[in-house]
Amino acid sequence: MKIALIGVGSIGLRHLNNLSKLGYRDVIIFDTSKGQIFKAKKILPSVVFCNKINSIWQQLPNIVFINTPTYTHISYAIKAAHMGCHIFIEKPLSNNLKSIKRLLTIIDDKNLTTMVGCNMRYYWAIRKIKELISKKIIGKLYAAHIESGSYLPEWRKNNYRKTYSAQKIMGGGIILDGIHELDYAIWFFGKIIKQISMYGKVSKLDIDTEDVADVLLKFESGPIVNIHLDYLQHNYSRNCKIIGEKGTIIWNFSEHLVKIYSHNTKKWQLIEEPRSYNLNQMYIDEIKYFLDCVKQKRNTLNSVISASQTLRIALNIKNTKHYVT
């Protein structure tokens, strides 16, 4: 099985390292940065480097990982699909809906396995919360608050101004950059039937994208959910609280545990992070799941068609009439 990686920035190098750990050696890469190519060869000396994108297709890969800036995803994916490659695209799927229908047609015609990478679905705490919701541990769900906030210059340390996060034309902004929270909210609660949003640029960050967003979502299954996203918090903040008729579930990334409060017992149950848990494990589990789906010729839980529906909601949130300064 030959695997191509288009783009070996930080996430591309992570995928390359994890593919190597999983025993994959027949890997080809394309990137315009000589420094990143050097890093890639240190990870996997056998990797084949292509200095032109067309050279990737001449190598006839079976699978393509697209790890480039958001605005380039669909054009690369269409070419990969035409070549009959199974496709893994880093989140978000795109920064607009253009050509997605065309991509879906090719994927369907060629019966390809696709996946858009939303690694938080594979994080131990998020998976545990999904399990608790499925088992109705806290009964009917009433409401939830989900938050993700970090300071952009500390997140994108190599000159944040030049990263896609900072540039509207490249598909940046916290709404698309922070699509993980919207993705797992939909995974938890299902279909959205109403949404209200407010977002804007409120800081002095040297960016032309939004740096803060608040979204209210009403789900068909019942709960009203607030999602807060920002590029502003110097103290990294990622958490989730879900309120139900029988109790409350709380997760805070920095505490390394999931807490469940029972209305009946008036007590908290603590579920601790597995011993020696490595954050990279969720990325390994993510691509292992994708590659297993390719081998078994079945589609993934977050295929291009599924991710396009999430993207449509995110773009509705970014509707300009909701922009504030």
What pLDDT is stored for residue 157 in this prediction? 85
What is the average pLDDT score of the chain? 96
Q: Identify whether residues 33 and 75 lie together within a single domain.
A: yes
Q: How far apart are CA 46 and CA 197, in angstroms?
A: 48
User: For a pLDDT cut of 70, what percent of the chain falls above it?
Assistant: 100
- In the chain, beta strands by DSSP E: 3-6, 27-30, 48-50, 63-66, 86-90, 114-117, 141-149, 192-200, 212-219, 224-230, 237-244, 247-252, 257-262, 268-272, 323-324
Q: Identify whether residues 114 and 213 lie together within a single domain.
A: no
Rg, the chain, Cα only: 20
> Taking 90 as the threshold, does the pLDDT of residue 4 lie above it?
yes
What pLDDT is stored for residue 37 in this prediction? 93
What pLDDT is stored for residue 308 in this prediction? 98
What pLDDT is stored for residue 51 in this prediction? 87
> Taking 80 as the threshold, does the pLDDT of residue 213 lie above it?
yes
> Taking 90 as the threshold, does the pLDDT of residue 321 lie above it?
no
Count of domains for the chain: 2
What is the residue type of 89?
Answer: I
Q: Identify whether residues 109 and 173 lie together within a single domain.
A: no
> What's the whole-number mean pLDDT along residues 70-99?
97
Query: What band does 79 get if pLDDT is binned at 50, 70 and 90?
Result: very high
What pLDDT is stored for residue 68 in this prediction? 96
Residue 38's domain comprises: 3-119+285-303
pTM of the entire predicted model: 0.95
- In 103-236, beta strands by DSSP E: 114-117, 141-149, 192-200, 212-219, 224-230
Q: Identify whether residues 157 and 299 lie together within a single domain.
A: no
pLDDT single digits (tens) 194-209: 999 999 999 999 999 9
Q: Identify whether residues 17 and 84 lie together within a single domain.
A: yes
Measuring CA to CA, how many Å separate 102 from each of 67, 81, 88?
20, 10, 17
What pLDDT is stored for residue 62 in this prediction? 98
What is the residue type of 310?
Answer: T
Q: Enumerate residues 6+ apart whose C-beta is below 8 A from 180.
A: 91, 118, 119, 120, 148
Q: Please answer whether residues 313 and 320 qualify as being in contact, where contact means their C-beta atoms are separated by less than 8 angstroms.
A: no
And the tokens for 175? 């709404």
Strand-strand pairing, 48-50 and 86-90: unpaired
Residue 161: which CATH number? 3.30.360.10
Q: Identify whether residues 236 and 130 lie together within a single domain.
A: yes
Q: Identify whether residues 240 and 292 lie together within a single domain.
A: no
In angstroms, how far apart are the furthest CA atoms of the chain?
A: 64
What pLDDT is stored for residue 137 in this prediction? 98
Count, residues in the chain: 325
What pLDDT is stored for residue 232 in this prediction? 98
> Taking 90 as the threshold, does the pLDDT of residue 121 lie above it?
yes
Using N-to-C axis directions, what is the helix angle for 73-82 and 100-110, rounded to 10°?
20
pLDDT single digits (tens) 163-178: 989 999 999 999 999 9
Q: Identify whether residues 112 and 143 lie together within a single domain.
A: no
Q: Identify whether residues 255 and 133 lie together within a single domain.
A: yes
DSSP string, 3-42: EEEE--SHHHHHHHHHHHHTT---EEEE-S-HHHHHHHHH
Q: Identify whether residues 105 and 249 lie together within a single domain.
A: no
Q: Identify whether residues 176 and 316 lie together within a single domain.
A: yes
Residue 295: which CATH number? 3.40.50.720
What is the residue type of 35?
Answer: G
Q: Please answer whether residues 288 and 280 qualify as being in contact, where contact means their C-beta atoms are separated by less than 8 angstroms.
A: no
Q: Identify whether residues 256 and 135 lie together within a single domain.
A: yes
What pLDDT is stored for residue 38 in this prediction? 94
